[in-house]
Structure formats: C-alpha cells, structure tokens
Amino acid sequence: MKFISTVCLFAFLGTTGAAVAADPFYVGSWTLTTAVVAPWADPQHKPDDTERTRLLGKTVVLKAREISGPRPFACARPQYKVTTSGPDMLFQGAFDEMQRADKKADPKALAASLGFTGASIRTLETGCEIDVHFVDDATAEIGLNDYVYTLKKR
C-alpha cells in the first residue's frame, strides 16, 4: 500500500510540474489591430496600403514550433530569441539610421511616438522575416513595408 501511495505521489508531482511550466509571454494569438505609416517612410511617397488592408484584423498565432497567420508572418520553423535593446535598435536599427542621417531624429522620441516607453525594449527575433517588438506583454509592433503594425494579444 505504501508503494502505491508513493507511485501516485510521484505521478501527481510529475503532472503538476509539467502543468506549472508556463509558456513564454509571447506564445498565443495576436490580432493585427492598427497600422500607421512608419517614421522612416519617405514623406514624399505614401506607402501602398493594399497589404495593410489585407492584414488588418487578421490573427497571427505564435506557437512553440510554428507561427501561423497571413503572409509574411507564417513561419514553419521559427528560431525564437528574446533580446533587449534601446529605442535606437527598434525595427532593425531604423531609428539609429535616421539619427545618423539627421542628428535631430531622436530614437527615444520616435519610439515614444509609437507607444514605447523606457530605455530597454524586448524584441522577439523569430529567425523568419519578422521581428516583434513589445510595448508590453499584450501589445507588440512589427515594421513591414513602411508601416508599423500593432498586434494585441487575445
């Protein structure tokens, strides 16, 4: 009887341990809610909004081994890596490039205009075409073809 109780206890602890392990904060369903013209876009040329129209309202699902959603977000084998950097490195260093071209372009102010606060911002590198920058655990932004898309976690 004592042996059976011990086996049951280990079985219970084993399943509890697995259930306690939480998914990373970024795993889940994200809806593309808004898109604004990116600060780095050429002000003389309005970006084509065909892609923007196609993407708004769609869902991107970040899973442990796959990203599903509309092109170009879908990815069969993401290689996730979470990094932290300053505002200058957002959107693959676009704000840093803007500042090098024009000293008045302040990366912190540009980031703030998109909702980012603080000196360090988490980025999810996917190993695919898209990097995801987190305003907070429920709001993320992606730069794509002269637009910044906002994603909200569902």
Tens digit of each residue's pLDDT (9 = 90 or more) over 121-142: 999 999 998 999 999 999 999 9
Is the four-CA dihedral 76, 79, 81, 85 of positive or negative sign?
Answer: negative
Query: CB of 84 within 8 A of CB of 135?
Result: no
Instruction: Please state the domain extents for the chain.
Output: 23-153
Q: Is the pLDDT of residue 2 over 80?
A: no
**Is the pTM of the predicted complex or chain greater than 0.95?**
no
Q: What residue spans of the chain are helical by DSSP H? A: 2-20, 50-55, 90-101, 107-113
> Alpha-carbon distance 89 to 122, whole Å?
11
